[in-house]
Every structure is written in structure tokens, then in C-alpha cells.
Chain A
Amino acid sequence: MLKKGMGLIIVLVVLAVAVSGCFTKGGTNLKVGMVTDAGTIDDKSFNQGTWEGIKRAGEELKVETKYLKPGGTTEADYMKEIGNLYDAGYKFIVCPGFKFETAIYQAQDKYKDAKFVLIDGSPHAGDGKAVVKENTVSIFFAEHESGFMAGIATALQLKEGEVGFIGGMEIPPVQRFNWGFQQGIQYANANLGTNISLKAENVIYQGSFDNVAAGQQLAAQMYDKGVKAIFCAAGGVGVGAINEAKSRAKAGQQVWVIGVDVDQYSEGIYDGNKSVILTSAMKKIAQAAFDMVQAEKDGKFPGGQTLTFDASNNGVGIPDENPNLSEEVQTKTAEVFEKLQSGEIKVSDQRGNLIK
């Protein structure tokens, strides 16, 4: 009896293993890994956006997902985690942030059968000369177009008055946000009948992404000088600015912040559903990460290419819902966005004669 019973159990176990094996193989055996940049996975910015896209791919496309957080932000730290993912069978690796540039440059040669997605950077050997191999895709965003749309929406909603800009470090993506924003204001003043001014003294790069106190203090200075809305592309510095705006809004003063990277509306809530976030200049990072996983699954991985997510492929823009913008403003903004998509309006990604 005992032997018969054992036999039955063995058969059952074998069956169970076989069946479960079928389920895991039901989708595909693509394993998608991610290495995080400085900061945590829920930084409400780059890491989180990328991870949300990968998680969505995990659910909708049935791929396995995993992220690893490196111990530091040096090339060696990144290489170690990329190697760990590779050894664990994760051969589709997404890395957010320009700091991965040199690590990906090495990894694309070292792990030839793995695929890499580098967001906001292009692999190079430390000399700035981009080398994108067949197993790598480098993704950029048109921050200037995103900033432009935020500038248009801000100008239309405020109609007149002063605005300001606080950036984090003076690096290309942040600069492009700034330049785009300025062009948006200029465009609105010239073509949409607004009268918004942006003084040179109110365009500031704080110099870090984590000095919360400085964010508050800078924002306070600007608001005291009569600035009505500040565009913050500055990470933690922006958190301080948002907090200052919240205090002032609670005291009855009308001040605004324009968010960055993701829809920051919920971060600016100070009472019920009211928020100090006028709108946000978004980069649809999650979408980009998801698209790349999908492309790989469909066998259309754009290896060797450098892609730009801009208005024409809906990679940048302001959120779909903006409770602080009037209907009229939203309609007009959408019209401008269409012109931007069709190429009728061109936004420069160079400084030209703009401020800073």
C-alpha cells in the first residue's frame, strides 16, 4: 500500500511541476531587470517611472521583473549589479540616468547576448563619444518640448505677472527644461495675448538635487518679489519649493509651482483636493520603458539606435488632467500641442539668446 501511495504522490508531484512549468513558460522566458540610479525606487522621478513601466510590462506582457539597487553610484557599483542581473538570467536590462553611460559602454561588449536600455544617456567610454552597439538602445527625451508646453499652459492660465525657474544641477536635461519653458512663455506672449515676464534673476540653478532647505528659501525669495509661479526641475530642491508654496497657499496667498518629470499634482495638495501644482512638465519614462520591453517581445528591439521621445510620439507633455487649468486653457494648450506635434512649431534645444 505504502509503495502504491508513494507512486501516486510522485506522479502528482511530477504533474504539478510540469503544469507549473507550463504556466511560467505560458508567456515567454524574457526576464527584465533594472538597476536603480542614485536615490530610492520610489523617488517619484526616474527610478520610479522606469520601474512602473517595467512592472506594467510584467503584468501585461507576462515577463519576469526585478530591480537591484547598487551600493553606490560609481561605474563599478553599476557593473556589479548589471553582472548580478545577467548571472541570474535577466538579459534585458534597463538603466535610468546619464550616470550609467560608461557602465553600459562596457556592459554592451561584456555581455553580448544581453540587451540594454539606457534612458537619458548614450554609452561612451568617458570621452563623450557615443557608441551604441547592436544590443543597446539609448533613449532621450525632448525636455525642451515638455518645458515649452508647461510654459504655454502657465502663461495662458496666469495671463500676466512674473514667473521663475529653479533648476537642480546645471546639466543638459535640466537646461533644456529651462530653455523650453522660456520659449513657451515667449511664444504665448507673442501669439496668445499673454503678458508674462521672466527676469534673469529669477532663473536659478541651485546646484544640487537634494537641498530641501535651499528650495524653500529660494522659492520664498521669489514669491516675496512677486513671482506667481515657479517651474522647479530640481528633485528634492523642488520638494522644498512645493512645501513653501503650500504654506503660502494655506495662508491665502495665490502661488503656484510647475512640477517636473512626473505629474506632481498629489505632492502639492494642501487642503482637500486643492494643490499648488499648476501643471507638470512630464517625461513619460514609464511609457518608454514599457515600449522597449514590448518591442523586445515582438522581436522589434531597436538595437543600435538612439531614440528620442518627444511631442510627436507623445513622449513628453503635460498631464492629461490638470485640475488647476481652466477648460479654455486646456483646449488652447492642446491646440498648441498639436502644432508642436505636426512640426508647425519648433522648439530649440539650444540656449541661443535665452537666460542661462
Chain B
Amino acid sequence: MWEIIVQVFPYAIAFTIPLLITALGGLFSERSGVVNIGLEGLMVVGLFSSAITIVNLEKFMPGTAVWVGLLVAAIAGALFSLLHAFACINLHANQVISGTAINMIAGAITVYLARNITGSGNIHIVHGMVRRTIPVLSDIPVIGKLLFTQTYATTWLVLAILVLSWFVLYKTAFGLRLRACGEHPQAADSAGVNVYRIRYIAVMISGAFAGLGGAIILVTYSGEFSGTVAGLGFLAIAALIFGQWKPWGVLGATFFFGFASTIANVSQAVPLFARIPGILLKIFPYVITLIVLVMFSKSSQAPRAAGEPYDKGKR
């Protein structure tokens, strides 16, 4: 049993990380009062822009191309999310509809661009992120094997972003203002906070993080752009709710999803799990989510103003 967990762990983490960073992006957006269900589309944008960058650069600089790709993905995601920000913040559009539009545009426009630029709707990269075992730390009993063997550099990047996000949200004036905008924008405004500006920044952060999430999928486990991230963006939203809009909660929720679905995926190859019907393992994380959501529905800690356009006239 222990051996299986050790074996599965690096892959569970690899699957968790893109989810975590995307959900974290959603957290910024929703805590500022803008619901962002366009995360799926923003991930696709990140996936595409990193793929096209890496494929063009890797001939000259295989090592750094991956990092440039990640950076480009974050920028592209942030820029693309401006569409959502403009519609939701300036135009007071319904945020769910705007997010849905983002998802639909992203899937179509990226494949269109890919086909026009490379001649094919599928883009393959040759060099992805290299897995490394960290020398000294991996010798620590128990956690060394689990956390420090076969890790991707992106994993540590995302964990650093997580800590930083927690710090920004809870320990800085900016974080307090951002949260205030999601709870009671009128009050924040009367205290001199520029609600529009804060929400713009928050939506752009969510776009950048989701773009990064898409790019991480590319450089770690898929190696290919094909116009979709297979619903991971929606899973990230589920994790955000499951994690009750809190950074550490989101970490726990995404890790739960990552670990449970990895176990479900590999169960067929592991004799110990093969006895359990695969379908049970596959639905397990979703059933748990449903139960948890029902249990928490009374005490849900959703930002109060999430989903409501802020209108200065209405106080």
C-alpha cells in the first residue's frame, strides 16, 4: 500500500498543480466580487499561447523556452480576461453569461489560430518540464519520498504563489480592499476604494493564473495542445467552492481531487485496487463534493457580492 502511494504521489501532484493555480485565480476574482466561470477558456488560451511560444523557441533554447512559454501564457490569460472584466465591470453584464462566452470563444479562436499559424489544430512540443529529484530533501524519511522525488519546478512555483497569495489577501491593505469589494462594494467605495480598479486587477490575476494552469498542463503531462483542457477549469471552480474561497481550503480541495482521480485512473494497473469496480473510484471525488456542498450549503462562505455588478448609483 505504502509503495503504491509513493509511486502515485508525484503524478497526483502533477495533476493537482494546474487545478490549484487555476482555482487560486478564481479565488482572487470571486473574492473581489466577479464570478469567473471562464476559467476553462482562459486555461485553453494559456495552453495555446504557451504551446505556440515553446514550439517556436525550443529549437534555439530548449531549456528556457518552457519558462518563456509559461510567462507568455500568464500574460495572454491576463489579456484575454480583460474581455470578461470589461463586460462584467464596465458594462454590468451577467457574469455567468460573459464567462460562458469566454469559454466558447477561447476553444474556437485558439484552434483557428493554431491552424492558421502552424497548419494543424494540434501543436506538439518536444521539450517539456524535466522532473527532478531534489538531492538532500529527498532523503528525509516519509515526506522526502512523497514530496521531493520526481518533482517539477512548476510545482514549487505554484506553491510559492499560493503562499504569496495568502499573504497578499490576508496581510496587506490591497488584500483587505479586494475582499471588501467582494463582500460589500458600496462600503468599500465609501471608504475611498476604487472598486472598478480592484476588480480589474483581480480578474486579470485570475486570467494570468488560469493561463499559467493551462501552460503547466502542457509542459508537465500532456505535451500537446488540442483545443481543450477537458473540463479542468470547471473542476477548478468546484474545488474553489469545496475549499470555501480560502487559499488553504483550495489547496486541500484540489489535492483531494488530484489524488482521488489519480487513484481512480491508475486503479486498473494496480492489482490491489483492481478489485474495486473502476466506476466507483471514478465517481468518488464527485460524490464526495456533492455531499460536502450539501453539508456546507447552510454555512457557505461565498463572498456576498460575488456575481453582482457594482453600480455606483445603487447604494
Contacts and interface: CB of A to CB of B under 8 A. Distances in A.
To the question of whether A and B form a pair in one complex, the answer is yes
A246 B7 CA distance: 18
B114 to A, nearest CB: 9
A25 interface: no
Interface in B220-251: 221-224, 226-228, 230
Interface stretch (A4-12, A26-34, A213-221): A213-221
B221 A218 contact: no
Interface stretch (B66-74, B182-190, B263-271, B287-295): B263-271
Given A40-B111, A216-B221, A221-B7, A267 B124 contact: yes
B149 to A, nearest CB: 12
Contacts of A205: 268
B155 interface: no
Q: Which of A216, A218, A224, A239 has the most CB of B within 10 A?
A: A216
A162 to B, nearest CB: 13
Nearest to A239: B224
Given A41-B121, A211-B230, A246 B115 contact: no
B126 A270 contact: yes
Contacts of A349: none
A19 B38 CA distance: 54
Nearest to A242: B223
Contact of B268 (A42, A218, A266): A218
A246 B266 contact: no
B221 A251 contact: no
B11 A220 contact: yes
Q: Which of A202, A207, A210, A214 has the most CB of B within 10 A?
A: A214
Interface residues on B, range: 20 to 34
Interface residues of A, number: 39
A316 interface: no
A207 B278 contact: yes
Interface in A195-223: 201-202, 204-207, 210-214, 216-218, 220-222
Contact of B269 (A218, A239, A251): A218
A40 B121 contact: yes
Q: Which of B262, B265, B271, B278 has the most CB of A within 10 A?
A: B265
Contacts of B124: 266-267
Contacts of B131: 247, 251
Contacts of B227: 40
Contacts of A206: 265, 268
Contacts of B221: 212-213, 216, 240, 243-244
Interface in B184-209: none
B284 to A, nearest CB: 15
Interface in A286-318: none
B16 to A, nearest CB: 11
B99 interface: no
Contacts of B270: 201, 221
Nearest to A275: B126
Given A42-B121, A211-B265, 6 more contacts: A42-B120, A212-B222, A218-B266, A221-B269, A239-B222, A239-B224
Interface of B: 7-8, 11, 14-15, 111, 115, 120-122, 124, 126-128, 130-131, 221-224, 226-228, 230, 261-262, 265-266, 268-271, 274, 278
14 contacts: A40-B111, A42-B115, A42-B120, A201-B270, A201-B274, A210-B230, A212-B222, A213-B15, A213-B262, A216-B221, A220-B11, A221-B8, A221-B269, A239-B224
Closest 4 CB pairs of A and B: A243-B223, A214-B265, A221-B269, A42-B120
